[in-house]
Chain A
Amino acid sequence: MPVTLTPNAIAAINTGDVNLKPLLQVLDIRLIGKTQERGQERYRLLISDGVSAQHAMLAVQLNDRVKSGRVEKGSIVQLTDYICSDVKGRRLTIVLNMETIVPQSETIGNPPMSAESDTEFQKPLPGPGNIHPPSRVGSVEQHSTNKAPPRGVNITPSVQPAYQPPPSYRNHGPIMKNEAPARIIPIAALNPYQGRWAIKARVTAKGDIRRYNNAKGDGKVFSFDLLDSDGGEIRITCFNAVVDRFFDVIEVGKVYLISKGSLKPAQKNFNHLKNEWEIFLESASTVELCPDEDGSIPRQQFSFHPIGDVEKAENNAILDIIGVVTSVNPSVPILRKNGMETHRRTLNLKDDSGKAVEVTLWGEFCNRDGRELEEMVGSAFYPVLAIKAGKVSDFSGKSVGTISSTQLFINPDFPEAQKLRNWFDHGGKDTASSSISRDNMPGGGSRNEIRKVVSQIKEEGLGRSDKPDWVTVKATIAFIKTDSFCYTACPLMIGDKQCNKKVTRTGTNMWLCDRCNQEFEECDYRYLLQVQIQDHTGMAWVTAFQESGEEIMGRPAKQLYTLKHESQNDEEFAVIVRNRLFHQYMLKLKIKEETYAEEHRLKMTVVKVDTVNYTSESRYLLNLLVGSLQV
């Protein structure tokens, strides 16, 4: 049966009527924080008579009514005992006893959801100046403490307030961050769309820290390469702060567990590994050393090519080769284009394919590995050398050079190395190898020479194609031009070669070189001989430079120059020159037709002067004879 609240009960209470025993509805119950003085909980009710509402404090002896649920929001109660007093200008109602009439009920009437008694209250209050701030504070307080937003009329009191403070989640909550270790996957399976991944791999190469400067400022970077047990390889790069974190941790040959890096496309011009991706480590990345030696991960991965393949390879291709070092040349300083000086050293590598290749070591490789190899070869112990990531160059035939990511392994413990060692020690050493590193000049041995007679040069139109022709001719020196047989040359060094440019005289005793831009007192004298050669078929004019000139004249140019121009001893000079005539030599000629203005001139240079070896020459002639007989 519908309960009727005592009308105007609130007003009556406030005016001091304590005998009313009104029927009121509890709209709200609030636990007021434990007061510090008494350490007791107090409940504050919001009671309504259907029209007005007011707060009332519940006496502590009635606390368990709320706690047990006998009194709750929406309950209709009868206040059987209560007092009302003025506290600092505020009307304070305290419920000393009450009975629950209806435990649960919808809101009766239309009371305000907050106590407006205070505002009402101000009017009947006598007493000077007791109005306002407290009440206002009170109302503010009420508003602020009244967390429940205005309820809709139809909401049942049993409904929880719509707004609740956010629950504080802890790890035992229903959602938990997955801290389980990431699964190890093969490097070959890595891609940017992979979720969490981890790889376990061995460091095969570690680069140096490289500092750079770009629009964003200064930075540093270093990279290292990994190889896993499936043979997958990938490069890892770290920038700036990440460099500091990992540079000392990473060591070549050790195995690491790496996770939480980002995957980006590999830069093919620097990264020669067989992977389209590259890993970049960041602040969240993890690198963990695996101390247990994992035998399933190889130390290095090679794909060796026989030297014969180098011949077919493209210029600038990167590949791995292995061979036996048969000779090592000394290291020479080289001036690079940017003015920096570096070192260069060449060596010869031979393998069981019957081919040999020239390998160029640059920079540090010259000094460290180059020296070691030089010493070994010098003591007639020819080491096996494996080269990982060497670069093919088509300068001077085909050769292989080192780049920054090259790795050299001297006498490594690979099966390929063993095989080569056995081959070399059991005869391979003496087998002839054809070098793929010579340019077109047939200088590899007498069997490569092309032998001609003087008349054939014109007859066959040698020198007319794009490239010069190299031939050997057996001929006699018939005449030597002596008007100008040498020139004044610059003696300064450019890298490992002498400048040799013609110098001009400045002042009385100084020479100036245009190329080196320097002046000096002493110049060099170098041969520039015009010589007439003859054989049984004809004659030709050839030019001989310094080396060939010295062979032909049998003495340094400077000596002759001094004799002719300084001592003015023309007689002795003439005698010497005449004595050099009519000697027969094997002359290696470089023949090329050149165009000066509109004139075509056949230019022939003596590249090498050799005395005739009668035994081999006789053989040659015999063969010619026998050959011509059979025709």
Chain B
Amino acid sequence: MDTSSPSAFVNGSLMRRYIGQKVRTVIQVVGSDVGSVVGKSTDDLQIIVKGSPPTTTTPSTYLEVIGIAENENSIRAEVWTNFGNSFDPVNYNELCKLANGEFKHLFI
């Protein structure tokens, strides 16, 4: 398992802690533009992801994005993964909170 560039689990509000660092998050696609995707984070904040998304990106699809957090609400994407339509954002959100809170020592 490649642990050379670990990424922190973040939701919308946790992004600001990792500006300039590698993060990973799941967003629900709201709309897409040329060269960027606008999505909703698991804690209902708006996130802009720069880069080229996978071809089949339709609104309401969940996408996992791994990349560098440019500022507190945008990511420059390196890896995109389609998580489909039936994804539970609540569970992910809790994971993010725990992974940056009580169980931070288990993660990066």
Contact = CB atoms under 8 A, between A and B. Distances in A.
B93 to A, nearest CB: 10
A629 B88 contact: no
A619 B91 contact: yes
A615 interface: yes
Q: Give the interface residue-count category, chain B.
A: under 10
A192 B88 CA distance: 76
A618 B87 CA distance: 12
Nearest to A618: B91
Contacts of B90: 619
Contacts of B102: 629
A344 to B, nearest CB: 40
B94 interface: yes
A619 B94 CA distance: 9
A615 B98 contact: no
Nearest to B101: A629
B41 to A, nearest CB: 18
Dominant secondary structure of chain B at its interface with chain A: helix
Nearest to B98: A625
Contacts of A182: none
Contacts of A625: 98
Contacts of A629: 102
A619 B89 CA distance: 11
Nearest to A622: B94
B86 to A, nearest CB: 8
B19 to A, nearest CB: 28
Contacts of B91: 615, 618-619, 622
**Main SS at interface, chain A:** helix
Interface string B66-104: 000000000000000000001010110010001000100
A615 B88 contact: yes
Contacts of B98: 625
Nearest to A615: B88
A267 to B, nearest CB: 63
Nearest to A617: B91
Nearest to B88: A615
Contacts of A622: 91, 94
A615 B90 CA distance: 9
Contacts of A615: 86, 88, 91
Interface string B15-55: 00000000000000000000000000000000000000000
B3 to A, nearest CB: 24
B17 to A, nearest CB: 21
Nearest to A619: B91
A618 B91 CA distance: 6
A619 to B, nearest CB: 6
A622 B102 CA distance: 13
Contacts of A626: 94
Contacts of B94: 622, 626
B61 to A, nearest CB: 17
Contacts of B86: 615
A629 B98 CA distance: 11
A446 to B, nearest CB: 15
Contacts of B88: 615, 618-619
Given A615-B91, A618-B91, A622-B94, 10 more contacts: A615-B86, A615-B88, A618-B88, A619-B88, A619-B90, A619-B91, A622-B91, A625-B98, A626-B94, A629-B102
Interface of A: 615, 618-619, 622, 625-626, 629
Interface of B: 86, 88, 90-91, 94, 98, 102
13 contacts: A615-B86, A615-B88, A615-B91, A618-B88, A618-B91, A619-B88, A619-B90, A619-B91, A622-B91, A622-B94, A625-B98, A626-B94, A629-B102
Closest 3 CB pairs of A and B: A618-B91, A615-B88, A622-B94
